[in-house]
């Protein structure tokens, strides 16, 4: 028996403490059924994690049973709990959810959880958009997409991705979302993010139908290449400006330089084979990639950038 415990061991002391706390908490519930389930949960919890830990954790689960007490629906379904707590809230209540599964067979539904998360993200997208012409267009597009989702022609995940592309297009026209896109803003946005062309097409078509516009997502290869090179130039200049060092920095520099100076795509910087070499008095890197050998200047002696920024 540890000193100071007299005739009571630590486990017994924590057991009594847990029982006292359970009696205090159960008294706050109005419904007999809630009290019964809470008592069942307490006994399960004490056996599940031990009296000591259970006594310290018990208060965190009272809100779960307070919700059940306020919504007397009998045995709660996963869908009912998900609607109130949300996916993130149920993750914080995983212990009561485990008890419901063990005691009553309430099983988490991954499809419902994913659907609920998608709905929450869509709602957040709408709520964080300022009121104005842009928000009106976004809400109209959401209604159109949800009709398609309702008839099974698209998924909720695709709805979210389409709305994200639509919001980006609107933001490129005005950060205040107080105007609709023009052909110039659409072209500028898509040349900077050509990977969004297919996703943005649906919103552009919607705007054309509902607002009498004649926008297009077609881009010239030259404009896309020019925008890509501009981004690579900016990244290379940013790398130079930081004055970094070390292998990871060198690999990032080499990858960007290969893409800009040699037009190489799909460069995996982790698998690059290279060595430092001086060519015609300029320090750089000799790079072996896909049976070919390239040379790129190093950050200490890089040539002037095409846009006039010297390095």
pLDDT tens string, the chain, 311 residues long: the values are: 455 556 667 778 888 898 899 999 999 999 999 999 999 999 999 999 998 999 999 999 999 999 989 887 778 889 999 988 888 888 889 999 999 999 999 998 889 999 999 999 999 999 999 999 999 999 999 999 999 999 999 999 999 999 999 999 999 999 999 999 999 999 889 988 878 889 999 999 999 999 999 999 887 677 667 777 778 888 888 888 887 788 888 889 989 888 888 888 878 888 788 888 888 878 889 998 888 889 888 887 655 455 443 33
The pair of three-digit structure tokens given for residue 31, joined into one six-digit string: 């419904």
Q: What is the pLDDT of residue 155?
A: 93
Q: What is the pLDDT of residue 308?
A: 40
Q: What is the pLDDT of residue 3?
A: 54
Cβ atoms of 143 and 180 within 8 Å: the answer is: no
Q: Which H or E run contains 242? A: helix 221-242
Cβ atoms of 1 and 9 within 8 Å: the answer is: yes
The pair of three-digit structure tokens given for residue 55, joined into one six-digit string: 């006594």
Q: What is the pLDDT of residue 309?
A: 39
Q: What is the pLDDT of residue 223?
A: 67
Using CA atoms, how far apart are residues 129 and 133, in angstroms rounded to an integer?
A: 11
Using CA atoms, how far apart are residues 27 and 22, in angstroms rounded to an integer?
A: 9
Q: What is the pLDDT of residue 225?
A: 75
What residues contact 235, with CB distance under 8 A and at least 6 apart? Answer: 256
pTM: 0.62
Q: What is the pLDDT of residue 2?
A: 54
Cβ atoms of 120 and 160 within 8 Å: the answer is: no
Domain range annotation of the chain: 10-108, 123-211, 243-297
């Amino acid at each position: 028996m540890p000193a100071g415990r007299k005739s009571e061991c630590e486990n017994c002391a924590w057991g009594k403490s847990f029982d006292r706390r359970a009696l205090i908490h159960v008294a706050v519930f109005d419904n007999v059924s809630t009290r019964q389930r809470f008592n069942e949960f307490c006994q399960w919890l004490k056996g599940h994690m031990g009296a000591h830990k259970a006594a310290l954790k018990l208060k965190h689960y009272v809100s779960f049973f307070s919700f059940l007490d306020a919504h007397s629906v009998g045995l709660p379904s996963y869908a009912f709990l998900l609607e109130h707590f949300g996916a993130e809230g149920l993750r914080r209540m995983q212990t009561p959810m485990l008890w419901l599964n063990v005691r009553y067979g309430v099983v988490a539904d991954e499809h419902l959880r994913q659907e609920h998360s998608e709905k929450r993200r869509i709602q957040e997208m709408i709520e964080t958009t300022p009121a104005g012409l842009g928000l009106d267009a976004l809400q109209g597009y959401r209604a159109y997409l949800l009709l398609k989702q309702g008839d099974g022609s698209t998924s909720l995940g695709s709805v979210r991705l389409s709305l994200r592309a639509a919001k980006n297009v609107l933001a490129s026209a005005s950060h205040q979302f107080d105007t609709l896109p023009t052909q110039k803003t659409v072209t500028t946005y898509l040349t900077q993010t050509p990977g969004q062309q297919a996703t943005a097409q649906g919103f552009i078509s919607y705007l054309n139908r509902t607002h009498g516009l004649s926008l297009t997502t077609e881009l010239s290869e030259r404009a896309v290449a020019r925008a890509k090179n501009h981004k690579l130039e900016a990244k290379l200049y940013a790398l130079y400006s930081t004055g970094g060092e070390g292998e990871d920095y060198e690999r990032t520099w080499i990858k960007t330089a290969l893409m800009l100076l040699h037009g190489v795509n799909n460069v995996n910087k982790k698998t690059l084979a290279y060595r430092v070499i001086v060519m015609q008095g300029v320090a750089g890197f000799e790079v072996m990639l896909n049976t070919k050998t390239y040379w790129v200047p190093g950050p200490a002696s890089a040539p002037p950038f095409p846009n006039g920024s010297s390095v």
